[in-house]
Amino acid sequence: MTSDTNILDDLDARVASLLATHDPATTDAREFLGARFDTGLAWVQFPEGHGGLGLPQTYQARVDAALAAAGAPGPAVERNGIGLGMAAPTIAAIGTTEQKRKFLRPLYTGEHIYCQLFSEPGAGSDLAAVATRAVRDGADWIVDGQKVWTSGAQNAQLAILVARTDPSVPKHAGLTYFLCDMSDPGIEIRPLRQITGEAEFNEVFLSGVRIPDENRLGGEGKGWHVATTTLNNERVAIGSGAPREGGLIGKVAQAWRRQPNLRDPAMHDQLLRFWVEAEVTRLTGERLRQQLAAGQPGPEGSAMKLAFAGLAQRISGFDIELHGESGLRYDDWTMRQQEAVEFTGREPGYRYLRAKGNSIEGGTSEILRNVIAERVLGLPPEHRVDKNVAWKDMAR
């Protein structure tokens, strides 16, 4: 108890000192976030000197609540979800001291927005089959290939990239993980229009892109391990990020309360079931996040993401039904690129269409069921005929 009290007292003192020296009302948001990072209050579970204090993640909620109550700005999750939810914990878990020093602070302040160069036209659910090549050239790597479904590439300064560096070994063993500068002249970004009308993601072509070896994250040929760390963090971030009555259930509950004309007694029990399921999912996700070491979640996050996707799609369908004919309206079909992803934005028609992507992005529901079966429940794995075949000898 004494130790916990000392930790809480120290956190409260750090918050008070930060607010005293950087008044949120008069301090530029980026400057404030930089000071918060330097104080160790960005991610308390991260290493000291790199935005954290080496504490259990359970203490982060206290810091966030105190700073929010003071009107302090938070990191731009809506613009940099990939950086904050995926790149940062991976760098913290696997990066060198110099990489943590170089990349974590500008990521947290929003100076660096990240995108994810993982999936390819022939390597989506089977990510280990990526064909983008990285060839060593002195102190650099030369990268050529194509990526697809890259959310936010048009706004990103940096990307997390998986490329094949050794085609002579089985597919999982020949990958290496890099941090890629998106301003390189060899990068071409083309928007892809989705079912909602907007171009939230892109296809990205890499031609002779030069990446210094110092931007390699993890060992050469160890990219699958690093990518798994990233994907596990992504699934936790997607599946457990909403506050109480947040996300789609919040939109539906608000409509139910504010517009009595929408209420149908037959829908009452269904709404309550969705509300309870959303709350159970939220609490389970919160417990999972609190148990994690910094940047090192396990396969259990796949269950959270799977539950989130199915629930979001069912609630969005209920949302349409609740609004009747007006729920079918859609205000803007023009193709456009946005700075932030709107999971719950605009009208019910948008939310219904956008939720269809929840069972694809961050790992398809089919793949996540395999992960849960094999790595959580310990069931026999599916037979894989290419497990010990060199990538260069695989049929493609």
Is the pLDDT at 140 greater than 70, yes or no?
A: yes
Q: Which stretch of 12-26, 189-203, 219-233, 257-271 has the lowest confidence by average pLDDT?
A: 257-271
Q: What integer is the mean pLDDT of 192-219?
A: 94
pLDDT at 239: 55
Give the residue with greater pLDDT, 122 vs 175.
Answer: 175
Strands (E), 68-185: 114-117, 133-137, 140-151, 158-164, 175-181
Is the pLDDT at 370 greater than 90, yes or no?
A: no
Q: Mean pLDDT, the chain, as a whole number?
A: 89
Separation in Å, CA 274 to CA 103, 195, 248, 392: 40, 25, 10, 48
Q: What integer is the mean pLDDT of 349-370?
A: 86
As beta bridge partners, residue 161 has 117, 178
Q: What are phi and psi of 56, to 5 degrees?
A: -60, 150
- Distance of alpha carbon 262 from alpha carbon 324, whole angstroms: 8
As beta bridge partners, residue 216 has 178
Separation in Å, CA 390 to CA 82, 89, 141, 156: 31, 31, 22, 34
How do the domains of the chain map onto residue ranges? 2-74, 114-221, 226-376
As beta bridge partners, residue 176 has 163
pLDDT at 253: 92
pLDDT at 1: 39
pLDDT digits (tens, 9 = 90+) for 300-318: 677 788 888 999 999 999 9
| SS3 at position 43 | coil
Is residue 390 within 8 A of residue 169, CB to CB? The reply is yes
Is the pLDDT at 240 greater than 60, yes or no?
A: no
Q: What integer is the mean pLDDT of 279-296?
A: 70
Geometric angle at alpha carbon 384, from 379 and 386, rounded to 5°: 155
Tell me which DSSP letter residue 171 carries: G
Q: What integer is the mean pLDDT of 258-262?
A: 84
185-189: which pairs have CB atoms within 8 A and are 24 or more residues apart?
186/143, 186/210, 189/150, 189/153, 189/154
Confidence of residue 287 (pLDDT cuts 50, 70, 90): confident
Q: What integer is the mean pLDDT of 128-157?
A: 96
Is the pLDDT at 293 greater than 60, yes or no?
A: no
Is the pLDDT at 159 greater than 90, yes or no?
A: yes
Is the pLDDT at 143 greater than 90, yes or no?
A: yes
Is the pLDDT at 153 greater than 90, yes or no?
A: yes
Which CATH architecture best describes the domain 226-376? Up-down Bundle (1.20)
Most confidently modeled range among 77-86, 208-217, 329-338: 208-217
| SS3 at position 237 | helix
- Distance of alpha carbon 168 from alpha carbon 165, whole angstroms: 9
- Distance of alpha carbon 277 from alpha carbon 34, whole angstroms: 38
pLDDT at 335: 74
As beta bridge partners, residue 146 has 205
* Chain centre to alpha carbon of residue 68: 22
As beta bridge partners, residue 204 has 147, 189
Q: What integer is the mean pLDDT of 55-62?
A: 89
Question: For the domain 114-221, what is the CATH superfamily, name and number?
Answer: Butyryl-CoA Dehydrogenase, subunit A, domain 2 (2.40.110.10)
Locus of tokens 């517009």: 259
Confidence of residue 289 (pLDDT cuts 50, 70, 90): low
pLDDT at 298: 64
Confidence of residue 176 (pLDDT cuts 50, 70, 90): very high
- The bridge status of strand 201-212 relative to strand 158-164 is unpaired
Give the residue with greater pLDDT, 241 vs 25.
Answer: 25
Percentage of the chain surpassing pLDDT 90? 56
Is the pLDDT at 187 greater than 90, yes or no?
A: yes
Domains 114-221 and 226-376 share a fold: no
Q: Is 182 exposed, middle or buried (0-12, 13-18, 19+ CB in 10 A)?
A: buried
Q: Indicate which residues carry an active-site annotation.
A: 234
Closest residue by Cα to residue 45 from 284, 218, 217, 295? 295
Geometric angle at alpha carbon 285, from 64 and 112, rounded to 5°: 50
Q: Which residues contact 172 (CB under 8 A, 6 or more apart)?
A: 128, 224
- Distance of alpha carbon 251 from alpha carbon 311, whole angstroms: 14
- The bridge status of strand 158-164 relative to strand 140-151 is unpaired
Most confidently modeled range among 202-211, 290-299, 380-389: 202-211
Is the pLDDT at 2 greater than 60, yes or no?
A: no
Confidence of residue 105 (pLDDT cuts 50, 70, 90): very high
Give the residue with greater pLDDT, 287 vs 191.
Answer: 191
